[in-house]
A and B are shown apart, each in its own frame.
Chain A
Amino acid sequence: MLRRELLGGLALTHLLGAATHHPAKAKRVIQVFLSGAASQCDTFDYKPLLIRKAGEKWDPGEKVELFQSNPGVVMPSPWGWKRYGQCGKWVSDLFPKVGACADDITFIHSMMSKSNVHGPATFMQNTGFILPGFPSAGAWVSYGLGSLNENLPVFVVMPDPRGMPPNGPANWGGGFLPAAHQATMVKVGTQTPIADLDPPQGTYVTPRSESDGLALLQRINRDHQSARPGDTRLEARIASYEMAARLQLSAPEVLSIEGESAATRKLYGLDDPRTSDLARRCLVARRMAERGIRFVQIWSGADNGFPRRNWDSHENLKADHGMLANELDGPLAALLIDLKARGMFEDTIVCWTTEFGRMPCSQGSLGRDHNPAGFTTWFAGGGFQGGVSYGATDEWSYKAVEKPVYCYDLHATLLHLLGIDHKRLTYRNNGIDRRLTDVHGEVIREILA
């Protein structure tokens, strides 16, 4: 408490209804991170020029420095495009169900990254820095706002079951913030979704030894403490075992989707093997949001490697983006629909994030190389307008030319909606009052409802 005030963080307690810098529009965030760099020009950034000039030598009028290759020919998206909703948004056939939600989405087409390498760029979207060692946005939110539900963690991450993204768990670490703010990893649908939540099977621990043991432990800790007054840490540690016991009861309930209706199962696509994993994770995310978890991050895509298991489609865009989009489209759209149906859409931010975009020209004959100069991200719910497109790339979908946006602005806007002034949420580390937004960031007011 004292420490936070002095370090410049919000002077908040970790209690319900904590004060914010200004009234918050949103209470929580669900972020889907498309690891490996999802293409903007095959999803939401429609450029008819690519279709007209298909197969021609690509000449944007300047030297282009690519990650792996020389620029190839102009490559139109292998998917068709349709207009959706009142807003008439063009969305490719890769994401028809998300497209149908276009009126609820704010698209930002003028994203830029400071790195075209997955590791640093993935760090950037998560932490605001291209170097390791900085806290992720979720950790900052945990530090700034604390918990809505003392019996559950504040920040939860559900990685792709195929593996970790580039940088691994460092993407959702607490950096220099106290360890309490790092994400709790939840491996949905596995034997042990949360590490150490319960003792492993087949040990000497029994339900009785557990309950008697905790009672005795608390007793001896209290005896120890009463002989040592004036040390709040001893009390805090006693309390932490009580919280742990509550967490043991609440966590399985959040993860259990057995009670969900048949309609909900169908909406998310739980019973279709293609979508069942993301359906489960999106549904669990909704359950987490309902129960007060502040920040939920869902990963689509794991590390690099073959066969491709992330969005890094250097070799064969159609095959690899196609597979991943098939998994994600239905469950993600279902999440938006479900949040609306439950009246949670207004105070829950859903975001689509990727580390950079892909080139409008081909790499080899079937793939696309990295493009840090222009890509798309989107938001829905929680104080954003719907049916809006902000910023633009050039006619090729190559470079952000209109209202360029960096992650700093996204983070500033996100924090703003959560009631936090990004310039005043700071933590002193190695001589600098660090912020999620470094020394940058403007709230994008134009897209707020």
Chain B
Amino acid sequence: MKWLLLIAVIPLAAQPVSFERTVQPILNAKCIACHPATNGAAEVSLASFGDLKNLIIPGKPEDSPLWHVLRGPKPRMPKGGSPLTVEQQRAIETWIVEGAKDDSKDSRWWSLRPLQAGPHRSIDAYLRAALQKQSLTFSATASRRVRIRRLTFDLHGLPPTPEEISSFERDPRPDAYTHLVDRLLASPRYGERWARHWLDIVHYGDSHGYDKDKPRTNAWPYRDAVIRAFNQDLPYKDFVERQLAGDVLHPSDPHAIELTGFLAAGPWDFVGHQELKEGTMEKNQTRSLDRDDMVATAVSTFSSMTAHCARCHDHKFDPIPQEDYYRLQAVFAGIDRADRPYDEDPAIAIQRRDLLQDRLALQRRIQPLLDKVEFASTPEIVVLDDRIQDASLLLAHLGTPKTPGQQADKQRLEARRTADRAARQQLVDALIGATTYNQIEALKLEIKQLDDRLAALPKPKLVYAGTSFFNRIGNFRPALAARPVHVLDRGSVTAPRQQVSPGALRAVNGVDASFAAVEEGARRAAFARWVVNPGNVLTWRSIVNRVWHYHFGAGLVDSPSDFGRMGSQPSHPELLDWLALWFRDEAKGSFKQLHRLIVMSQAYQQDSKYNDHAARIDADNRLLWRMNRTKLDAESIRDAALAASGKLDLSMGGPGVRMFWFKDDHSPIYDYARFEPSSAGAYRRSIYRFIVRSVPDPFLERLDCPDPSVLTPKRSTTLTAIQALAMWNNPFMLHTASQLAARVGGNIQLAAQLVFGRELSATELQLYRQYADSHGMANLCRLLLNANEFLFVD
């Protein structure tokens, strides 16, 4: 899509072919996968202008090797891929004829160059300038009815009520729209809507994922803190810092600690962490992959770069050496994902933090001694270990005895195991010796004293976060200091190379990316400072593009979490940079101001009507000659249906609503089919549902709700038979339709206003009435909720 579009935008023959805007994108799309930057190695690289020098004779395409391999219908290159299109070939030929000049201002990739606004001072001015080049204009401003539906879904994820529509339509004030924007941004529904976007980006879920997908019962305080941050318009800098290091930078602010749930938002391998033995390769791998998820999440969320592609080797396309990736792992090397205690009362919070730090210091002393005991081993001990395990296995397999014989077996095995355990203890005791035991006991006493003082504090709250403050469960134990991180050859834990210190991406100029920090918390704080540094161009470009993406349905850069060479390039680079600067400097990182700026633009308020002429020039509407028509996302469909039915429960926050039948087994069971659509909490907004990773909600999943284990900067939209069946037959939809019918009585006009946001014509009304007369209002409401007019927003 990317390069076709670029071709559409190239004013052919009007000006010279640009290397930066035309030739390089073609090479990036077609060649660079096999010809990446080689760092001086012998193979052919097509990664930069410099690499092309030997392949091109300026002015003479016939004599240029590059041209020879690319030309014609059956060229030698790209090997195994489709040839360049005629237009692409012509562009490269013309560029060589014109002298093969490098017109890039800066040889660095666009996203790494300094922020450089253009001459304009408004969104519309930038967009209009680009439209004018193609002799296009904005479409007419949309009607008030269209705009209020669009804006309410966009800012709230809900439909406007009939009263809201009519009062906006009748509002005589010239700035009625401004008032509407202000009203919507002031509502707590706004935070719920935009937090949902954020949770997609960071792959938030309420269970661990993998095998034995246990509920993560304290994840929700993070979700609530994100909602609160949006509603209170927490500046972006603060929002970022708190998610990476809120516990370090604001130890007495409970919401700052809740936001560190970001670090733990992704999946977690219960078996790998809790059951595998300390010191094994598989354990190291589990931990390395756990940090990998933290790195991928943090860097793609805040920097829109794919650092995780440098786990096994230097990044193939972007300037990210493998060592940078492992420096990023080192940032997170002291934390795990666990329930972390925190307090509302700042004074208590500080007391608790100090006690926990003292406790950590004691743990550092006692752990090596405990390990001596835990890993004590002689051949005799191993024999007993095996016998004990054998008994345990057989007992587990036996289960609850059903016959006297089994009962006897059980007793015999239990007796044997008890005796073996005692014998083992004696052997271990002899091996360890009294001195060590005395030291352990003394330290245990000290820890107990601290634990008593901790227990005397008011009961803490818990948030599932990135932390080292948790107690060992099974084989899952906190790092007592940041764990050493090595560069791993080919990403393999069996092939460690040099150890690295924490750091970030060195490709970002002018911001120090090597951290002196040693202590766990200081590492994350240093990384947070690197991200929010005003000079970190990635941060500011990334966030304004994300916000733009959600408003318009497509970003200025259409790959919101990838600003590297494999991602898209900005359709309006100067606008993107102007927005980034404006957001950083004028708006001081206020999301609400940014929303206001965007939704007040003429571009946003235009009609979404199709226009043949414009579509021929810019079919994908990258230039925004009209507003994009959007399809409601899964949560909005569910919430809007509930809103129309009058049942939507707007209570906020708290533990996720379990919209399934649950049994906490060895591997927990989540069964959505056994959930009554009228159960307690069933009418809450979708953001408050309990999100299970291994067993996604089948209804929402069919509506393209993303897998909560995948970082999702951009949702895909599908239209399938299975989806149609879900909308048509799912018990939730049928139930909600009957609730809607009960709400409106026989008033078909009201039902249409609630679902479509408009009155029906006389013809429509007659059709609907006929159907309702034959089959009842519930069936009619079911139909309305399945209509395209409900699912699409003009």
Is chain B found bound to chain A in the same assembly?
Answer: yes
**A-side interface residues toward B, CB under 8 Å?**
2-3, 5-6, 8, 11, 65, 67-70, 72, 115-120, 122-123, 130-133, 153, 163-164, 166-170, 173-180, 182, 184, 192, 195-200, 203-206, 208-209, 212-213, 216-217, 219-221, 223-225, 228-231, 233-234, 236-238, 240-241, 243-244, 246-248, 303-308, 314-316, 319, 363-367, 423-424, 428, 430-433
In the complex, are the beta carbons of B665 and A303 less than 8 A apart? yes
Residues of A within 8 A of B309 (CB): 431-432
Which A-chain residue is minimally distant from B779 (CB atoms)?
Answer: A209
Which A-chain residue is minimally distant from B561 (CB atoms)?
Answer: A430
Contact of B399 among A68, A163, A306 (CB under 8 A): A306
Bits for B77-92, please: 1 = Cβ < 8 Å to A, else 0. 0001110000000000
Bits for B689-717, please: 1 = Cβ < 8 Å to A, else 0. 00001111011011110010111110011
Bits for B266-296, please: 1 = Cβ < 8 Å to A, else 0. 0101111001100011100110010001001
B662 at the interface (CB under 8 A from A): no
Bits for B760-794, please: 1 = Cβ < 8 Å to A, else 0. 00001001100100111011001100111101101
Which A-chain residue is minimally distant from B271 (CB atoms)?
Answer: A117
Q: What distance in Å separates the Cβ of A36 from its nearest Cβ neighbour in chain B?
A: 10
Contact of B709 among A130, A132, A163 (CB under 8 A): A132
In the complex, are the beta carbons of B779 and A213 less than 8 A apart? yes
Known contacts A163-B669, A199-B734, A304-B667, A365 near B394 by CB under 8 Å: yes
Bits for B559-594, please: 1 = Cβ < 8 Å to A, else 0. 101101011000000000000000000000000000
**B-side interface residues toward A, CB under 8 Å?**
1-4, 33, 80-82, 203, 209-213, 267, 269-272, 275-276, 280-282, 285-286, 289, 293, 296, 300, 305-306, 308-309, 317-318, 382, 385-386, 389-394, 396-397, 399, 559, 561-562, 564, 566-567, 609-610, 612, 615, 629, 631, 665-667, 669-670, 673, 693-696, 698-699, 701-704, 707, 709-713, 716-726, 728-731, 734, 738, 764, 767-768, 771, 774-776, 778-779, 782-783, 786-789, 791-792, 794
Residues of A within 8 A of B631 (CB): 233
Contact of B211 among A5, A122, A365, A423 (CB under 8 A): A122
Which A-chain residue is minimally distant from B210 (CB atoms)?
Answer: A119
Cα of A88 to Cα of B485 in the assembled complex, Å: 52
Cα of A10 to Cα of B85 in the assembled complex, Å: 17
Known contacts A67-B276, A228-B610, A233-B719, A170 near B707 by CB under 8 Å: yes
Residues of B within 8 A of A179 (CB): 701-704, 716, 718, 720, 723
Cα of A363 to Cα of B696 in the assembled complex, Å: 36
In the complex, are the beta carbons of A70 and B397 less than 8 A apart? no
Residues of A within 8 A of B713 (CB): 430
Residues of A within 8 A of B1 (CB): 2-3, 6
Q: What distance in Å separates the Cβ of B726 from its nearest Cβ neighbour in chain A?
A: 5
In the complex, are the beta carbons of A303 and B666 less than 8 A apart? yes
Q: A117-B282, A209-B776, A316-B394 are in contact. List 13 more A-B contacts (CB 8 A).
A: A5-B82, A119-B271, A122-B211, A179-B703, A213-B775, A217-B786, A240-B720, A244-B725, A303-B211, A306-B397, A365-B390, A430-B713, A431-B306
Q: What distance in Å separates the Cβ of A130 from its nearest Cβ neighbour in chain B?
A: 7
Residue among A11, A192, A204, A431 facing the most chain B CB atoms (10 A cut-off): A431
Known contacts A244-B725, A303-B667, A208 near B720 by CB under 8 Å: no
Cα of A197 to Cα of B725 in the assembled complex, Å: 6
In the complex, are the beta carbons of B561 and A166 less than 8 A apart? no
Contact of B710 among A166, A176, A423 (CB under 8 A): A176
For the residues of A in contact with B, the DSSP-based class is loop
Which A-chain residue is minimally distant from B377 (CB atoms)?
Answer: A70
Cα of A115 to Cα of B271 in the assembled complex, Å: 12
Residues of A within 8 A of B213 (CB): 167-168
Cα of A319 to Cα of B276 in the assembled complex, Å: 26
In the complex, are the beta carbons of A70 and B385 less than 8 A apart? yes
Q: What distance in Å separates the Cβ of A69 from its nearest Cβ neighbour in chain B?
A: 6
Residues of B within 8 A of A244 (CB): 721-722, 724-725, 728
Cα of A140 to Cα of B281 in the assembled complex, Å: 31
In the complex, are the beta carbons of A169 and B210 less than 8 A apart? no
Contact of B779 among A130, A205, A221, A363 (CB under 8 A): A205
Known contacts A6-B1, A120-B272, A228-B610, A115 near B211 by CB under 8 Å: no
Cα of A363 to Cα of B510 in the assembled complex, Å: 58
In the complex, are the beta carbons of A305 and B787 less than 8 A apart? no
Known contacts A3-B1, A170-B709, A221-B788, A364 near B394 by CB under 8 Å: yes
In the complex, are the beta carbons of A237 and B399 less than 8 A apart? no
Residue among A132, A366, A423 facing the most chain B CB atoms (10 A cut-off): A132
In the complex, are the beta carbons of B399 and A69 less than 8 A apart? no
Known contacts A244-B721, A316-B397, A65 near B693 by CB under 8 Å: no
Q: What distance in Å separates the Cβ of A152 from its nearest Cβ neighbour in chain B?
A: 9
Residues of B within 8 A of A130 (CB): 289
Contact of A221 among B81, B698, B787 (CB under 8 A): B787
In the complex, are the beta carbons of B211 and A315 less than 8 A apart? no
Residues of B within 8 A of A11 (CB): 82
Q: What distance in Å separates the Cβ of B457 from its nearest Cβ neighbour in chain A?
A: 37
Residues of B within 8 A of A231 (CB): 610, 629
Residues of B within 8 A of A65 (CB): 280-282
In the complex, are the beta carbons of B280 and A180 less than 8 A apart? no
Residues of A within 8 A of B203 (CB): 133
In the complex, are the beta carbons of B695 and A304 less than 8 A apart? no
Residues of A within 8 A of B712 (CB): 176
Which A-chain residue is minimally distant from B764 (CB atoms)?
Answer: A220
In the complex, are the beta carbons of B209 and A166 less than 8 A apart? no
Known contacts A184-B722, A213-B771, A220-B789, A166 near B717 by CB under 8 Å: no
In the complex, are the beta carbons of A308 and B724 less than 8 A apart? no
Residues of A within 8 A of B673 (CB): 192, 195
Known contacts A180-B720, A221-B787, A314-B393, A166 near B775 by CB under 8 Å: no
Which A-chain residue is minimally distant from B713 (CB atoms)?
Answer: A430
Residues of A within 8 A of B385 (CB): 70
Cα of A424 to Cα of B34 in the assembled complex, Å: 13
Cα of A5 to Cα of B4 in the assembled complex, Å: 12
- Enumerate 21 A-B pairs (CB-CB under 8 Å) in ascending A order: A2-B4, A69-B386, A119-B269, A132-B693, A132-B707, A166-B212, A170-B695, A179-B720, A204-B775, A205-B734, A205-B779, A224-B788, A233-B792, A241-B724, A303-B666, A304-B666, A315-B396, A364-B394, A423-B80, A430-B561, A432-B309
Cα of A206 to Cα of B776 in the assembled complex, Å: 11
Cα of A430 to Cα of B665 in the assembled complex, Å: 35
